[in-house]
Amino acid sequence: MKSLQNKVALITGGSKGIGFGIAQALLEQGIKVAVTSRSEASAIEAAQQLNANNSCEATAMGIQADVRNFESQQEAVKLVLETFGQLDFVIANAGLGYFASIEDLTPQQWQDTIDTNLTGVFYTIKASVNALKQSKGYFITISSLAGTNFFAKGSAYNASKFGLTGFTQAVMLDLRQHDIKVSTIMPGSVSTHFNGNTPDDSDAWKIQIEDIGELVVDLIKMNPRTLPSKIEVRPSKPPTK
């Protein structure tokens, strides 16, 4: 594997949670990172934190962008190319979840979930595919075990993640002849603020954001001839119910 120094990554939803953990891991490899958030303040603050904590020379930048808007994704990619000159890795991480029975789930909650978790990923790859062709890069989506395992009150989230898992696998087949690798990571319980959770010591059994970051690094370091296209990852010892 060639050195990752001066490679460039774009991470959607990278201002917190899994996306932030991935950004930290990539920076430690010498990869320049752009993190996006719908909030400009959050994106800038995340980049400042990443740069303050980074022991390598690589830098992070924050970009205000909304995955639900194709033009916004195009502008984010354009800004990365103007700033860093290339784009090697795209991690489509932005996501949200509403959990309610079908009787209580609102049409707006359904639309927000599909627009962010599925259509937003489509916009992200459409906006970045030409740059990834140039770099022979890597496109990684963050799906979920909910992308193959359904559960009560999960109709919108299940639909978005089932769709994302299938979408990513089809895109993998489309792009591998262009020397672009495509993988989806499907985590179980992760210690983040997702769905109103407050990470604390009681979350020690869960996957940590740095674990997902380490997994992304392992993927991009893998020999070019080998592609783990779908990776399920679980807590090794969840508490008994």
- Catalytically annotated residues: 157
Kindly write down the DSSP assignment for every residue of the chain, as one continuous string: ----TT-EEEEETTTSHHHHHHHHHHHHTT-EEEEEESSHHHHHHHHHHHHHH--SS--EEEEE--TT-HHHHHHHHHHHHHHHS---EEEE---------TTT--HHHHHHHHIIIIIHHHHHHHHHHHHHHHHT-EEEEE--GGGT---TT-HHHHHHHHHHHHHHHHHHHHHGGGT-EEEEEEE-SBSSSGGG---SGGGTTSBPHHHHHHHHHHHHHS-TT----EEEE--SSPPP-
Q: Can you tell me the distance from the alpha carbon of 233 to that of 214, in angstroms, rounded to the nearest whole number?
A: 12
Q: Can you tell me the distance from the alpha carbon of 125 to that of 51, in angstroms, rounded to the nearest whole number?
A: 26
